[in-house]
Amino acid sequence: AQKITQTQPGMFVQEKEAVTLDCTYDTSDPSYGLFWYKQPSSGEMIFLIYQGSYDQQNATEGRYSLNFQKARKSANLVISASQLGDSAMYFCAMRALSGGYNKLIFGAGTRLAVHP
Amino acid sequence: DGGITQSPKYLFRKEGQNVTLSCEQNLNHDAMYWYRQDPGQGLRLIYYSQIVNDFQKGDIAEGYSVSREKKESFPLTVTSAQKNPTAFYLCASSTGRGDEQFFGPGTRLTVL
């Protein structure tokens, strides 16, 4: 079965420090994609970063990087130099093929709180 | 500016009533999606559509219906058959080729 697991319901980090949010996935498809989204208290989902299963290098987007360990089926999000505005829910998602169509499977999320 | 709009932002419904949530996109995306989010939880897929006049049930389609008569629009109807409709509803779109989905601001539905 295709599944995303985020084991950290909540995380705290000091401003300007780095933080790692964990994500593990389960799929038997050789081709898949992994996404991270941020959800502030306002509710909208903001796309952060993407990693394809065949990508040789870890994805990076500004302060966000994805620590992709294919053998361990993990795709952890690393936020460097945390800012107060990073406080939000973070969701890991996996692209899955179902009936010939692409859809996203989401984890339960991790709530990040950045302290001054 | 390109994007996805959802209306209304807040919606209140009496038990037994059907309500329709609007979702419009001007990104020229082929695929559109509806998700439900309950407090403290992730997103669950209700329905999705890859092209006009075609849509598929997601993981929790019971009590919901959709239509896709235009590429830009993908309205969701929450019927009286949905036993627990109070939730946050998010609409999304993508090119359909497996890249990221772009989300609207959401509609918060409360059943009174």
Q: Rounded to 5 degrees, what angle do the CA atoms B46, B47, B50 make?
A: 150
**CB-based contact (8 Å) between A96 and chain B?**
no
Give tens-digit pLDDT for A2-48: 899 999 999 999 999 999 999 999 999 888 999 999 999 999 999 99
Question: Token pair of B72, please?
Answer: 């830009």
Mean pLDDT of B103-107: 96
Is A101 a residue whose pLDDT tops 80? no
Instruction: Tell me what pLDDT residue B100 has.
Output: 87
Name which of B43, B96, B104 is nearest A102 (Cβ-Cβ). B96
Mean pLDDT of B58-64: 94
Q: Do B42 and A106 touch (CB under 8 A)?
A: yes
Neighbours of B53 (CB within 10 A): 9
B99 versus B3: the higher-pLDDT residue is B3
β-partners of residue B11 are B109
Question: Chain A residues with CB inside 8 Å of B45's CB?
Answer: 103-104
B94: confidence class by pLDDT, cuts 50, 70, 90: very high
Is B27 a residue whose pLDDT tops 70? yes
Mean pLDDT of the residues in chain B: 93
Query: In the block, which residue shows the tokens 């959802």?
Result: B6
Q: Cα–Cα distances in Å, from B50 out to A10, A33, A42, B5, B74? A: 35, 18, 28, 18, 11
Q: What percent of chain B has pLDDT over 90?
A: 78
Instruction: Tell me what pLDDT residue B99 has.
Output: 80
Question: Token pair of A50, please?
Answer: 């993407």
Cis? peptide before B8, omega within 30° of 0: yes
* 3-state DSSP assignment of residue B39: coil
Is B1 a residue whose pLDDT tops 70? no
**CB-based contact (8 Å) between A99 and chain B?**
yes
Name which of A44, A104, A108 is nearest B101 (Cβ-Cβ). A104
HEC states along chain A? CCEEECCCCEEEEECCCCEEECCEEECCCCCCEEEEEEECCCCCCEEEEEEECCCCCCCEECCEEEEEECCCCEEEEEECCCCHHHCEEEEEEEEEEECCEEEEEECCCEEEEEEC
Give tens-digit pLDDT for A37-92: 999 999 999 999 999 999 989 999 999 999 999 999 999 999 999 999 999 999 99
Question: Token pair of B86, please?
Answer: 């109070």
